[in-house]
Structure 1
Amino acid sequence: MRLPSRLILALAAATLAACVPPETPTGKSDFDALCAGCHGLGGKGDGDMAAMLDQKPADLTTLSAKNNGHYPGTEIMAQIWGYAKPQGRVMPEFGPLLEGDLVPFDSGDGILTPTPIRLVQLEQYVRGLQEK
C-alpha cells in the first residue's frame, strides 16, 4: 500500500516539529501567559479577565510613580511568587510555575540571593512597563 504524498509530508512535518525543543520562557512570554489575562498586555489592569474580577487588577505601569520614583522590584517578586499575602489578595501564587534554574539576584542590598531566573525575568519585564 502506497501512502499519498500529502500524508507523507504531514507525517514528516509532525516528526520534525516533535524534534524542536520548546521555546525558552522569557519575561514577556511568562507575562503574556500568566499576567496579561488580568493586567492586560500593556500592564494597565485592563486584561480580558479584569471585568470578571471583584477587585480591579493593579495598573503595573505606575508602580514606580506610586512609590516616589522607586521601582519596588523585591516586593513585586514577592507578590508574583506568592510570599506577599496582603489581606484581600486575589492574585494567584505563581511561584510553582516559575521554579527552575537559579541566578544570583541583588535586590539592592548588595547580597546576591539565588532566585529563579524566570521570576527575575518577569520582574524585569514589569520594570520595563513603568511609565516615565
Structure 2
Amino acid sequence: MLKSFGFHLAAAAAACAMAAPSFAQTGEVAAGAAEYKIACYQCHGEAGKGDGPMAALLTVKPADLTQLAKKNDGKFPFLQVFQTIDGRAVIKAHGEGPMPIWGERYMAQSGAAGAEPYRTWTAEPFVRARILELTYYLQSIQE
C-alpha cells in the first residue's frame, strides 16, 4: 500500500512539475509586469491595448501589444520585440522612432552612462535583463 502511495505521489508531483511554469518563468513574468507598469503603461495602457492615459496626446497611436503574435502568424516575435524596446540598434539616420529608447535609459539608470569605456560594459547585463523581463511579460499577454 505504501509503495503504491509513493508511486502515485511521484506521478502527481511529476504531472504538476510539467504543468506549472518554472519559478524562473514566473519570476521573469512578474518582474516584467512591474517593469511594464513603470515603462509602458502610460502609453500602452493597463492591458497593453494601446489605450494608456498618454495615448490620446500622441501623434502615433501606441501598438496593441496583445496582438503581436497574431500579427506574426501566431508566433511571438521575441527578438523583434526585444530590439524594439532596446532601441539602440535603430539606425539614427532613418529618424527617431515614436517610442523612447529604453536601452539608453536603462543604461543611464545603471550608473554607467558617461563612465569610462571600461566601465560601461558592466551595465549591459542590467539593461538586457530588464528588457528580457519586459519581453517575457509581453509574450505572456498575447491573445
Q: Same fold (TM over 0.5)?
A: yes
Mean Cα displacement is larger for which, 26-35 or 82-91? 82-91
Aligned mate of 1:90, from 81, 87, 98: 98
Does the residue aligned with 1:26 lie in a helix, a strand or coil? Answer: helix
More displaced stretch, 122-131 vs 82-91: 82-91
Identical aligned residues as a percent: 36
Aligned partners of 2:45, 2:55: CA distance in 1, in Å?
A: 8
* Aligned residue in 2 for 1:18: none
Per the alignment, in what secondary structure is the counterpart of residue 40 of structure 2?
helix
Normalized against structure 1, the TM-score is what?
A: 0.65
Q: In structure 1, how many angstroms separate the alpha carbons of the residues matched to 2:41 and 2:33?
A: 10
- Structure 2, unaligned runs of 5 or more: 1-29, 108-122
Verify: 1:117 aligned to 2:140, yes or no.
Answer: no
Whose RCO is larger (CA < 8 A, sep 6+)? 2
CA distance in 2, matches of 1:125, 1:84: 22
* Correspondence for 1:61: 66
| 1:37 matched to 2:42 | yes
Distance 2:39 2:125 in 1: 20
What amino acid does structure 1 have at the position aligned with 2:39? L
Q: Report runs of 4+ in structure 1 exceeding 6 Å deviation.
A: none
Indicate if the aligned counterparts of 1:44 and 1:61 stay in contact, CA closer than 8 A: yes
What whole-Å deviation, never above 9, does each CA across 1:44-89 have from its counterpart, x for those lacking one? 0000000000111000000000000010010001110102467672
- Relative to the length of structure 2, the TM-score reads 0.60
Give the corresponding residue for 1:17: none
State the superposition RMSD in angstroms: 2.3
| 1:7-59 Cα deviation digits (max 9, x unpaired) | xxxxxxxxxxxxxxxxxx92111110110100001100000000000111000
* Counterparts of 1:54 and 1:77, CA distance in 2: 23
Gaps of 5+ in 1: 1-24, 104-114
What amino acid does structure 2 have at the position aligned with 1:127?
Q
CA contact (8 A) 1:39 1:59 kept: yes
Give aligned pairs, total.
96
Structure 2 residue matching 1:41: 3-state secondary structure: coil
